[in-house]
Amino acid sequence: MFLLLDFNTQWCHILLSSDALLKFLNPTPGPSTTSTAAASTSAAQPTSDAASAAQPSHDAAASSGLPVASTSAAQPTSFAAASSGVPVASTSAAQPSSDAAASSGLPAAPIDPADWPSALTEKVRTELVHRGPFVIDSDFTFPKQKDGRRCQHDYFNRLLINGEKVRRTWLMYSKKEDSLHCFCCKMFSKRDYKLSREGLKDWKNASHLLKVHEDSQEHNAHMATWKDLEVRFAKGLTIDKQEMALAEAERKRWREVLHRLVAIIQSLAERNMAFRESTDTLNKPDNGNFLKEVELMAKFDPVMKQHVSRVESGAGSHIHYLGKTIQNELIDTISSRIIKRIVEDIKTSKYFSIILDCTPDLSHKEQLSVIVRIVSQEDIPQVKEHFLGFLVAEESTGDHLSTLILKRIEELNIPFEDCRGQSYDNGANMKGKNKGVQARLLQLNSRAFLVPCGAHTLNLVVADAAKSSPDALGYFGHLAKLFKLFSASTHRWGVLLKHVKTTLKSWAETRWESRIKSIEAVRYQARQVREALLEVRETAKDPVVRVEAQSLAEEIGSYRFCICTAIWYDILSKIQYVSKLMQSPSMQLDVAVDLLKKTKDSLTSYRNTGFSDAQTTAKEMCEEMNVEAELKQKRLRTTKRHFGYESPDEPIQDALKKMETTFFNVVVDTAISSLDERFQNLGEVNDKFGVLLNFHNLQKEELLQQCQTLSTTLTHDSQLDINGTELAMEMQNFPPLPSKNMTNMELLTFLHEKKVAEIYPNMWVALRIFATLPVTVAAAERSFSKLKLIKTYLRSTMMQERLSGLSIISINHVVSNQLSYDDVVDDFAARKTRRVRL
């Protein structure tokens, strides 16, 4: 029933049940009464309901951080009993202090309706009305039942007879129980039916049951109660206005504290710094970077200063949100928010490519790095490569790795049918034609073109060239001995530093193009290095070191070594330049193919003049070292040959000619042939999209044929990305270009700046797909550098979720800095029940 009360000419409209009305008319508690009288004037004696409401589920942070004592405060009783369904505060004259209000602040009710307590207290109802029903994401995928049916997003809208859709704001979905619940009936109804208790799971008849429920008189009454209470809360017309204001001030204080904690976590994660040390107590010398940042901020920031003061004094409650558990939750919340932003960007761009690579970490776990490449269309078309985290690969087989990446894509609700490219290193488990990852993904999506990593392939070209000649391998062996001799002793390294400006460098065994740094030190400082060796020979006491220094000094001063140095420096200079360019995140496939063609032409030209140029350079080096520039022919032992019909090749008597034939020509020819062979796949993929760049040079018939071929290539299971005929017509009517030799991204930018993308939709789509194709896996390699900085020896026991979360924040720091602190705190509050209202 409705009761209108007159308090000093102010009308209060309160919906009371018959039990609550009886309690109001007779405030003396009887033997059957389960709660305290409504109009209590003493705040010192809380009711049993109020006492139970003041004991919410314990937050994980309370037990994970600093031990802090709490101070209990008296709480005022409620005007209406808990069974009345309407939370109304006491009119007691005794007002609680700010600390008391903080400790008796509104507890956060569970997010999932399946976790709601069976008997709701008025404080929980107040929190629910403030927060409103939980809204499911529009892209959420509901689980299927055994009969194949599932919940539908259409259930959350009511279709009117005129075709309009009205949102059912009262309808909630429980992820825990896979059921539907009525928000207002679950709060106020005492009847036991599905939408107000266990939830609706009958998907076959769900539409009918929902319509019957929303047309019922009881549901409409509870809706009116909910909306009326919501309006009065918004306007501040409740009787407990002052208590609600204190609770709101406390809520804002906690949100301000969390804003600063989120900023600290972002700062530490972006710099790959450790959070904790041996203790988790404030004002201790070994409490870690996180608490040190909190202490530093408390010296200048009043909000954090007040919070730290409350924690140290034990005022308020045990909650402080400075413990390790809350750190993990905030890291996971920030990284999840970053991933959500990235997924939205991927879905807006539609087409994407995946880049995968594996490496073992410090705890001997195989970490799979997942990178997604897209063409963003925010302001101007630009290529972006996003890191989606590390996955633990228990096996290195193609079947397991493909299952792992497909599961990750499905978890993020990214449609794999929009994948247009995949790039890996040259491992058999990744690029295998039968059982590799690329083969299994191509079975699911034939448009996911394989593009082997260009940087890895270019490295194999150099490896092929080096292994083709014994002189080449011997040369790098001498360089390795040279570095080892000086680096094995601080004294010998000091001798080296007295003579050279650029020190000797070591190199990675698998990255041949990186060896140019070690060659460069000898190429331009041969005399200084030789003098350092001679000094070591004179000062060393170890006879083995003296002999090795003498041997290396003679080798560096030889004409042969100087020629090899000049040749390898010239070859690696050409290849390293291309390798560095190809590792750029914005590198395009057509640009990479053009760079490789120029590299091949450069090596072909170098073959004609390179050896004579190397001789000139070697003579200058010998002259600087004051040694004779003469290549001595080594006498080889001759062996007796049996009669054969094929006569043996005539031995080359000239030493220079022999070196040119057996070393220079072999190395350069092997590099040129390896370029053609190893980059054949890259060229084939580029040729499929070649019509997009040279359409202005084709005749009408040939243009139509190539457009039809491209359309067929971009077709899978009768699903087309472009229409070949329309694409040919668009190319024939294409506006004049500022240049005939424009790259793929330049054409995309041209269409965007002219704002004619809608006039040439097929051209626009094809260019975006072409730009999405990756060239290298350098982004995955860079993520391994972050992995080594985050998971160090002292942090080797880090959990996988924390490792992946910190890596996501560190690598995607640009996206992280764009996040809203309020959104992060909202997600943090929605994860589970909190002891404070956020």
Helix or strand or coil: residue 239? coil
d(CA 61, CA 324): 8
Would you state the torsion angle of the CA atoms of residues 157, 158, 164, 166, taken in this order, to the nearest 10 degrees? Answer: -60
> What share of the chain has pLDDT > 90, as a percent?
49
| Structure-model confidence comparison of residues 254 and 241, the more confident one | 254
- Residue 739's pLDDT band, with cuts at 50, 70 and 90, is confident
Question: Does 724 have pLDDT greater than 70?
Answer: yes
Would you state the torsion angle of the CA atoms of residues 636, 639, 645, 650, taken in this order, to the nearest 10 degrees? Answer: 20
d(CA 834, CA 382): 42
Instruction: Determine the pLDDT at residue 270.
Output: 94
Q: 198-215: b or e for each residue (b if 16 or more CB lie within 10 Å)?
A: ebbeebeebeebbeebbe
Q: What is the largest CA-CA distance in the chain?
A: 129
Instruction: Determine the pLDDT at residue 528.
Output: 93
Question: Could you report the per-residue pLDDT of 91-106, keeping only the tens digit for each?
Answer: 333 333 333 333 334 4
Instruction: Determine the pLDDT at residue 9.
Output: 34
Question: Could you report the per-residue pLDDT of 552-592, keeping only the tens digit for each?
Answer: 999 999 999 999 999 999 999 989 889 889 888 889 999 99
Question: Could you report the per-residue pLDDT of 700-717, keeping only the tens digit for each?
Answer: 999 999 999 999 999 998
Q: CB of 414 within 8 A of CB of 386? A: no
Question: Does 787 have pLDDT greater than 80?
Answer: yes
For the entire predicted model, the pTM comes to 0.73
Question: Does 369 have pLDDT greater than 60?
Answer: yes
Q: CB of 36 within 8 A of CB of 45? A: yes
Question: Does 821 have pLDDT greater than 50?
Answer: yes
Instruction: Determine the pLDDT at residue 515.
Output: 79
Take residue 13 and report the two structure tokens written for it: 């409209």
Token look-up 């937050």 returns 59
Instruction: Determine the pLDDT at residue 109.
Output: 66
- Residue 769's pLDDT band, with cuts at 50, 70 and 90, is very high
Residue 375: closest CA among 349, 355, 398, 353: 349
d(CA 758, CA 764): 8
The sign of the torsion formed by the CA atoms of 394, 395, 396, 400 equals negative
- Residue 384's pLDDT band, with cuts at 50, 70 and 90, is very high
Side chain identity at 40, as an amino acid letter? S
Classify strands 719-720 and 715-716 as parallel, antiparallel or unpaired: antiparallel
Chain-centre distance of CA 291, in angstroms?
Answer: 26
| Structure-model confidence comparison of residues 606 and 17, the more confident one | 606
Instruction: Determine the pLDDT at residue 123.
Output: 76
Question: Does 261 have pLDDT greater than 90?
Answer: yes
Helix or strand or coil: residue 200? strand
Classify strands 165-167 and 157-159 as parallel, antiparallel or unpaired: antiparallel
Mean pLDDT (the chain, rounded): 82
- Residue 16's pLDDT band, with cuts at 50, 70 and 90, is very low
Question: Does 23 have pLDDT greater than 50?
Answer: no
- The DSSP 8-state label assigned to residue 808 in this structure reads H
Question: Could you report the per-residue pLDDT of 649-684, keeping only the tens digit for each?
Answer: 566 667 888 888 889 999 999 999 999 888 988 889
Query: What value does the mean pLDDT take over residues 788-795?
Result: 92
Question: Could you report the per-residue pLDDT of 776-785, keeping only the tens digit for each?
Answer: 999 999 999 9
Residue 253: closest CA among 265, 261, 264: 261
Instruction: Determine the pLDDT at residue 646.
Output: 59
Instruction: Determine the pLDDT at residue 570.
Output: 92
- Residue 512's pLDDT band, with cuts at 50, 70 and 90, is low
Residue 90: closest CA among 263, 238, 311: 238
- Residue 510's pLDDT band, with cuts at 50, 70 and 90, is low
The sign of the torsion formed by the CA atoms of 709, 710, 714, 718 equals negative
**Cα separation values, 349 from 405, 418, 473, 715, 769, Å:** 20, 10, 48, 19, 10
Residue 828: closest CA among 61, 296, 191, 119: 61
Q: CB of 423 within 8 A of CB of 777? A: yes
d(CA 315, CA 502): 61
739: Cβ contacts below 8 Å, ≥ 6 apart: 746
Question: Does 11 have pLDDT greater than 80?
Answer: no
Instruction: Determine the pLDDT at residue 104.
Output: 36
